[in-house]
Homo-oligomer: A and B are copies of this chain.
């Protein structure tokens, strides 16, 4: 074995490709979320994140000042994605307010919003929010945006029913409905297999309608209110 006169270096340097800045940042953020969801904040080390993103750890410092900033940007991205998906169900133009409210509840209580991975991420980050002002701010912005959307739809629904609630009543309804959705979301994420498909959404719609004092629709009609109800299995592991 002639290992002498070896022109090749002892250890070959890793091949790599230069990616666009935005692409790399996005990949790193996604890898960060993956690692946090799987291993928690303590397991999401720079080396693990880099491995997942297909780069080496040193590169992270080229895009983020430090680990903390990476985590903060990852959480901000997560919150943005969550609220965006949640509100997407509200842009049904021709539907009645009540149908839009029902579609909103349904969308929030099915995949991809009901998702173990997303819940793990949410819980992990929110647990640090009280100690990290940056996380707290990212959360509060997302939360208030969400609740304002709820309040707006509720106002439309009640207006369509000829009712004129004052601001404080509206606020209370929004708080309660927000709680119903959040609570059912948690139950679904944590123990999804305990509920049949669509069951959480049905419970949520009924609870919301009871909160607003709406007479229930006919069962056949309430079943097909403009929603896709396809259970996309995007769960990992």
Residues of A bordering B, CB below 8 Å: 38-42, 116-117, 119-124, 126-131, 139-140, 143, 172, 175-176, 178-184, 186-187, 190-191, 195, 200, 203-204, 206-207, 210-211, 213, 236-237
Do A127 and B131 touch (CB < 8 A)? no
Once the chains are docked, how many angstroms separate the CA of A128 from the CA of B200?
Answer: 23
Known A40-B41, A42-B42, A127-B127; judge A187-B175 contact (CB<8 A).
Answer: yes
Residues from chain B with a CB closer than 8 A to the CB of A126 are 123, 190
Once the chains are docked, how many angstroms separate the CA of A190 from the CA of B237?
Answer: 31
Once the chains are docked, how many angstroms separate the CA of A39 from the CA of B132?
Answer: 10
- Chain B nearest CB from A169 CB (Å) reads 10
Once the chains are docked, how many angstroms separate the CA of A207 from the CA of B122?
Answer: 26
- Contact for A172 among B40, B129, B178, B203, CB less than 8 A: B203
Once the chains are docked, how many angstroms separate the CA of A180 from the CA of B211?
Answer: 11
Can you offer 21 A-B residue contacts whose CB atoms are under 8 A?
Answer: A39-B131, A40-B42, A40-B128, A40-B131, A119-B127, A119-B130, A120-B128, A120-B130, A121-B127, A139-B190, A140-B191, A143-B190, A143-B191, A175-B195, A176-B206, A178-B187, A179-B204, A182-B183, A183-B184, A207-B207, A210-B211
The 3 A-B pairs of least Cβ separation, nearest first, read A179-B183, A123-B127, A183-B183
Do A179 and B179 touch (CB < 8 A)? yes
Residues from chain B with a CB closer than 8 A to the CB of A200 are 175
Once the chains are docked, how many angstroms separate the CA of A195 from the CA of B116?
Answer: 30
Residues from chain B with a CB closer than 8 A to the CB of A116 are 130
Do B180 and A203 touch (CB < 8 A)? no
